[in-house]
Amino acid sequence: MAAHDSGTPGVPAAPRGPRPGALWLLPPAAVLALAAMGASIWDPRALQPAGQGGGAASDAVVTLGRGHLGTGHADAGYHSVVVLGAPAERSAAPAAVPGASGPAASAPRGAAPAAGRNAPPPGPGAAPVPAAQVPVPVPPPGAAESVAACAQLLPRLPTVDRALCESTRLSESGARSRKGTPLYWRDVAPAAGAPGAPEPLRVLVVGAIHGDELTSASLALRWIGFAGQPLPASRQAVHWRFIPVLNPDGLLARPATRVNARGVDLNRNFPTPNWERDAPLYWEKRTRRDPRRWPGPEPLSEPESRFLHTQMEGFRPDLVVSIHAPYGVLDYDGPLPPPSRLGQLRLDQLGIFPGSLGHYGSVRQGMPVVTIELQHELRMPDDQQVRQMWRDLLRWMDTHLAATDTPAGGISGK
């Protein structure tokens, strides 16, 4: 989300989107009429320049939701998870998503009932746990793919050394970027509990959706180590899934770029309502065709956004944390009370954008969405802040996510 390093000097940063309920798509005549009556149409901060409370500070969004069935290929080891269905807990059945392929693109919603988090254990003959929710096997220390991941990413990651990177034991997800770069991930999951025990919370953590936000990838890698530390007995177990670099092509470019190798802003490429109308119009009118914010030719046109969409559908996370930079705030969308702060980052709910991950998660899926906006895209916060943000996140999860289910419906007014 960095405003510089765009490769396009002189292009202004995109203004913030209107707050929920803002009528930014009204016909000009209606806008003028309402304005004449004193109606407030725009978020007063929407037209402020970046750095003065403006800019696209909620570009980074975090999602959380529930999906349907997935399966892993037995002959693919820990490398691939293929989602076979669409979310089973949604009441509406949207049309197939352009640009998506395979069964997930056309499977009807509501095809199978979804068990609640506290439902009793399945009886004999019940369907098995979706494979997309089964922990991804961790490669052994020194595995070739982990070494290769670190050799490729390390030159771009602030405050991450080789020992720390290789200790995360990243593995290939089976998905690849637009240029064919592997998309790496890591699961940290608790041991199987006793029969009838609450199943772990599922949390998806995503870094570097924008490739020029290097600190977002570093923070995700630092948190992998924290996720593996023992939890107090009073705290509910968590199955973490980390995707530290969703946009490796942008991160590895020189200079690093916000967009992927095709020039698409991945955080404008999700299938939000009326995407075909709203996303291009927003790009043309509000960003003045800023090449750093092009939403792409259609929703989910990019392999990176399709991969993340697949994880949301199959892993069925209870929380998705999306890490961005450099606006130094905490953003949130979703049905639960938001965290007021993570470390030094304080809550500033900044609105939604057509095609953004937060818009998709909160409006289309009714998912809680937490967005961490670090203060700098190149300089990491100190170790104390890295740990405090983690502790504050766990405290909020304990209060608002433990032993609860994400509501099935969307959120009105967004």
Nearest CA to 89 out of 364, 340, 339 is that of: 364
Work out the angle between the directed axes of helices 214-227 and 383-400 (0-180°, nearest 10).
60
Which residues are CB-contacts of 268 (< 8 A; sequence separation ≥ 6)? 279, 283, 293, 294, 295, 296, 353, 354, 355, 356
Tell me, what's the pLDDT at 159?
Answer: 94
Judge whether 370 and 58 are in contact, CB under 8 Å. no
Nearest CA to 249 out of 220, 212, 291, 301 is that of: 212
pLDDT truncated to tens, each residue of the chain (414 aa)?
A: 433 333 333 333 333 333 333 334 444 444 344 334 333 222 323 323 333 333 333 333 333 232 222 222 333 332 222 222 222 232 233 334 343 333 333 332 222 223 334 334 444 554 566 788 899 999 999 999 999 999 999 999 999 999 999 999 999 999 999 999 999 999 999 988 778 778 899 999 999 999 999 999 999 999 999 999 887 777 889 999 999 999 999 999 999 999 999 999 999 999 999 999 999 999 999 999 999 999 999 999 999 999 999 998 899 899 999 999 999 999 998 888 999 999 999 999 777 789 999 888 877 777 788 999 999 999 999 999 999 999 999 999 999 987 544 443 333 222
Tell me, what's the pLDDT at 68?
Answer: 25
CA 268 to CA 7: how far, in whole Å? 19
Number of other CB atoms surrounding residue 340 within 10 Å: 11
Q: What are phi and psi of 237, to 5 degrees?
A: -65, 150
Is residue 272 classed as helix, strand or coil in its secondary structure?
Answer: coil
CA 128 to CA 115: how far, in whole Å? 12
Tell me, what's the pLDDT at 221?
Answer: 97
Which residues are CB-contacts of 23 (< 8 A; sequence separation ≥ 6)? 31, 34, 41
Judge whether 363 and 20 are in contact, CB under 8 Å. no
Number of other CB atoms surrounding residue 231 within 10 Å: 12
Is residue 19 classed as helix, strand or coil in its secondary structure?
Answer: coil
CA 376 to CA 366: how far, in whole Å? 30
Across 190-259, where does the E strand assignment appear? Answer: 201-207, 238-243
pTM for the model stands at 0.71
> How far, in whole angstroms, is CA 170 from its chain's centroid?
18
Nearest CA to 257 out of 5, 9, 8, 3 is that of: 5
Judge whether 411 and 363 are in contact, CB under 8 Å. yes
With the C-alpha atoms ordered 56, 222, 193, 83, is the resulting torsion angle positive or negative?
positive
Is residue 337 classed as helix, strand or coil in its secondary structure?
Answer: coil
Q: Where are the alpha helices (DSSP H) in 99-189?
A: 103-106, 144-153, 162-167
Token pair of 255 as six digits: 């200079």
CA 362 to CA 369: how far, in whole Å? 7
Judge whether 349 and 61 are in contact, CB under 8 Å. no
Tell me, what's the pLDDT at 314?
Answer: 92
Judge whether 293 and 265 are in contact, CB under 8 Å. yes
CA 283 to CA 41: how far, in whole Å? 19
Is residue 67 classed as helix, strand or coil in its secondary structure?
Answer: coil
Tell me, what's the pLDDT at 127?
Answer: 52
Using alpha carbons, list the distances in angstroms from residue 4 to 9, 11, 148, 212.
Answer: 8, 9, 30, 9
Full 3-state SS string of 357-379 = HHHHHHHHCCCCEEEEECCCCCC
Judge whether 230 and 190 are in contact, CB under 8 Å. no
